[in-house]
Amino acid sequence: MECTCGGKAVYFRRYSGQVFCKPCFNNYFERKVHDTIRKHTMVQRGEKIGVGVSGGKDSTVLLSVLAKIAGNLEITLHPILVDEGIEDYRESGICAAEKTCKDLSFILDLPSFKEETDFTLDELQSEGDHKPCTYCGVLRRKLLNQKANELMLDKLATGHNLDDEAQAIMMNYISGNIERLHRLKGNASDPDLIKRIKPLRELPEKEIMLYALLNNLEISTDECPYAKENHRTKIRDFINNLEQDQPGVKYSIIRGWEKLAKTSRPEKTQMQKCNVCNQPTSRKICRACELTEEIKIKRGDTTKDVAD
Ligand code: SF4
Ligand code: ZN
């Protein structure tokens, strides 16, 4: 098998029957990211775009490809890595992300759960009653938003890929969570909430890994020790099995959701400022403050910073 240009094949894409050599694959991949950004009008000329990075393959590839096309799109990039405080896991991601940022001449912003909330994720999960991914998701979202506001960013790009999107859509269908389904569109309901964009949402996870390997990108392949407790893993396996029998089903899932999203409107959420941290929220006290406050109460720490 060889590429249409005659080059040595490195990839056979099952769902389209195409064969790619390395240069043709890189061209296709970078063009796809560019076209996805244009198709969904993800950025405007002159915008400051935050890039959420972790040192893993998705966000490393995202930052590397965006760095190549930022000039053409006339945007500037600001990588941010949130250190959750997960022992024997997070360090390797930070090292990989620091190396990528150094190679691409970016300064990496590195906020941490510990600095911002007084707790590492390890402490939260061992002392609290919720699943680690609940603490992680809620606090990471808050810290990224806070950082984006501090840096006066226009949008935040994340490394979510086609597989992540398909999984999130299926999970929310199964739980009937329409509000979260709408949130996948990334529309911020408050001017202080950063709008999110997902330039890799049309690219399957395995193509992202291939791009990282072919281009020798520095990535951490360590898996979060809490990942096995994640319900998403079961959904991922289910969709991957479907994809085996029916190549292209991941695209069908997101296309179906896009059609549905056009026909329905999210309920308007009334936003206000959290009584504790002053960040935007739909409640009196934001979920992040609520979660950390529960642990302070358990520890017998003061609750004086929580207003009525
Ligand atoms: Fe956070 Fe859960 Fe992901 Fe680990 S698996 S990084 S705890 S969301
Ligand atoms: Zn708060």
Q: Which two tokens stand for residue 6?
A: 């005659």
Instruction: For strands 280-281 and 272-273, give the pairing.
Output: antiparallel
Q: Which pLDDT score, from 0 to 100, does residue 37 have? A: 97
Residues 282 and 1: their CA atoms lie apart, in Å, by: 55
Task: Report the separation in Å between the CA atom of 137 and the middle of ligand 1, taken as the mean of its atom positions.
Answer: 7
Asked if pLDDT for residue 298 goes beyond 90, the answer is no
Q: Which ligand is nearest to the CA of 224?
A: 1
Q: pLDDT per residue over 248-262, tens digit each?
A: 999 999 999 988 888
Q: pLDDT per residue over 23-73, tens digit each?
A: 999 999 999 999 999 999 999 999 999 999 999 999 999 999 999 999 999
Residues 45 and 278: their CA atoms lie apart, in Å, by: 31
Asked if pLDDT for residue 304 goes beyond 70, the answer is no
Q: Ligand 1 pocket test: which of 133, 139, 220, 233 has the largest number of ligand atoms within 8 Å of its C-beta? A: 133
Span 69-94, mean pLDDT? 97
Near ion ligand 2, which residues have CB within 5 Å?
Answer: 274, 276-277, 286, 289
Confidence at 178, pLDDT banded by 50, 70, 90: confident
Q: Is the CB of 229 under 6 A from ligand 1?
A: no
- Cα→Cα distances 181→60, 135, 267, Å: 26, 20, 12
Q: Which pLDDT score, from 0 to 100, does residue 261 have? A: 82
Confidence at 263, pLDDT banded by 50, 70, 90: confident
Q: Which ligand is nearest to the CA of 305?
A: 2
Q: Ligand 1 pocket test: which of 125, 136, 221, 223 has the largest number of ligand atoms within 8 Å of its C-beta? A: 136
Can you tell me which residue has the tokens 């240009």? 5
Task: Report the separation in Å between the CA atom of 226 and the middle of ligand 1, taken as the mean of its atom positions.
Answer: 6
Contact present, 198 and 208 (Cβ < 8 Å): no
Q: Which two tokens stand for residue 254?
A: 């997101």
Q: Which pLDDT score, from 0 to 100, does residue 95 have? A: 97
Asked if pLDDT for residue 3 goes beyond 60, the answer is yes
DSSP calls for 162-201:
HHHHHHHHHHHHHHT-HHHHHHTT---SSTTSPEEE-TTT
Q: Is the CB of 132 under 6 A from ligand 1?
A: yes
Residue nearest to atom 2 of ligand 1 (CA): 133
Apex CA 60: angle with CA 140 and CA 202, to 5°?
Answer: 90
What percent of the chain lies above the pLDDT cut of 70? 94
The sign of the dihedral angle between the CA atoms of 253, 168, 54, 35 is positive
Asked if pLDDT for residue 227 goes beyond 90, the answer is no
Q: 2 in helix, strand or coil?
A: strand
> What average pLDDT does the chain have?
91
Contact present, 203 and 161 (Cβ < 8 Å): yes
Q: Which pLDDT score, from 0 to 100, does residue 180 have? A: 80
Contact present, 204 and 163 (Cβ < 8 Å): yes
Asked if pLDDT for residue 230 goes beyond 70, the answer is no
- For the chain, the residue count is 308
- Pick the closest to residue 134 from 238, 226, 54 (CA basis): 226
DSSP letter assigned to residue 307: -
Q: Is the CB of 113 under 6 A from ligand 1?
A: no
Residues 51 and 79: their CA atoms lie apart, in Å, by: 5
Q: Which pLDDT score, from 0 to 100, does residue 187 have? A: 63
Residue nearest to atom 6 of ligand 1 (CA): 224
Neighbours of 281 (CB within 10 A): 24
Apex CA 110: angle with CA 108 and CA 115, to 5°?
Answer: 165
Task: Report the separation in Å between the CA atom of 136 and the middle of ligand 1, taken as the mean of its atom positions.
Answer: 6
Task: Report the separation in Å between the CA atom of 282 and the middle of ligand 2, taken as the mean of its atom positions.
Answer: 11
DSSP letter assigned to residue 23: H
Q: Is the CB of 231 under 6 A from ligand 1?
A: no
Residue nearest to atom 8 of ligand 1 (CA): 133
Asked if pLDDT for residue 308 goes beyond 60, the answer is no
Residues 299 and 285: their CA atoms lie apart, in Å, by: 20
Task: Report the separation in Å between the CA atom of 176 and the middle of ligand 2, taken as the mean of its atom positions.
Answer: 27
Confidence at 188, pLDDT banded by 50, 70, 90: low
Confidence at 229, pLDDT banded by 50, 70, 90: low
Amino acid, single-letter form, for residue 19: V
Q: pLDDT per residue over 134-164, tens digit each?
A: 999 999 999 999 999 999 999 999 999 999 9
Instruction: For strands 155-157 and 195-197, give the pairing.
Output: parallel
Using only the alpha carbons of the chain, give its radius of gyration. Answer: 20
Q: pLDDT per residue over 197-222, tens digit each?
A: 999 999 999 999 999 999 999 999 99
Beta bridge partners of 157: 51, 197
